[in-house]
Amino acid sequence: MIAFNQFFTEQTRDGKVVVIFPGRFQPAHKGHAGLYDSLKQEFPNSDVYIATSEKVDEKSPLTFEERKFILQKLGIPGERIVKVKSPYVAKEISERYNQDKDSLVYALSDKDASRISYTKKDGTPGYFQKLNNVQQLLPMKDKGYVKVATVNPFKVLGKTITGATQIRDMYKHVSESERRQIIIDLYGKFDQDIYNLFNKKLK
């Protein structure tokens, strides 16, 4: 059996593959970083980006620059973190590429997979289709693809975390020492800058 990476590389050698991991990242955490790293491994010759917006509201307290700051702390290069108007229609990224040669893949977590429609209103196939392991990718002018990926759960203060909303809610209602431990659980070590940012924004 041909491994996915081998098949993927061979079938896209005439064009670049662009992989976009969209989201709010409120806040970004090691689950996001792990998924980004796995995408780089799964698509080794591709350009992998994180797309997020500037939108700030009650559920999205962090600005784009604050999100980027944390993502960079997680080891993601700044040039791969792009501010877009709509993360799930990240034209600011895709328009940089050759529409006739390069292919487009969105990597969505399980809970976000329904944000993209695979059919038109009349029931015919839409622009996006789910990515499988045995297909030659068409250029982005013709098709876009969706890779449904899993953000692995992890423990924060001994509780299993599956999303950033849990982190924000938890941070609001714990002691200072527990807040410091949350930072360690999320980022592998205590980081004073992230701690100060959380205390300012996650109220």
Orientation angle between helical segments 192-201 and 64-73, nearest 10 degrees? 150
pLDDT tens readout for residues 37-81: 999 999 988 999 999 999 999 899 999 999 999 999 999 999 999
70-106 pLDDT, tens per residue?
999 999 999 999 999 999 999 999 999 999 999 999 9
Sign of the four-CA dihedral 116, 127, 20, 34? positive
DSSP string, 30-71: HHHHHHHHHHHHHSTTSEEEEEE----BTTB-S-HHHHHHHH
Candidates 3.30.200, 1.10.3470, 3.40.50, 3.30.70; CATH matching 4-149: 3.40.50
User: Which residue shows structure tokens 């940012």?
Assistant: 197
Contact indicator for 170, 181 with CB cutoff of 8 Å: no
Average pLDDT over every residue of 127-146: 87
CB 11 within 8 A of CB 136: yes
Are the C-beta atoms of 198 and 179 separated by less than 8 Å?
A: yes
What tokens does 149 get? Answer: 């990926």
Domain segments of the chain as ranges: 4-149, 154-201
> CB–CB of 171/198 below 8 Å?
yes
Which has the minimum average pLDDT: 20-34, 152-166, 177-191?
152-166
Higher pLDDT, 166 or 150: 166
Cα–Cα distance, 140 to 100 (Å, whole number)? 7
Largest pairwise CA distance in the chain = 56
Range of lowest pLDDT (54-63, 109-118, 189-198): 109-118
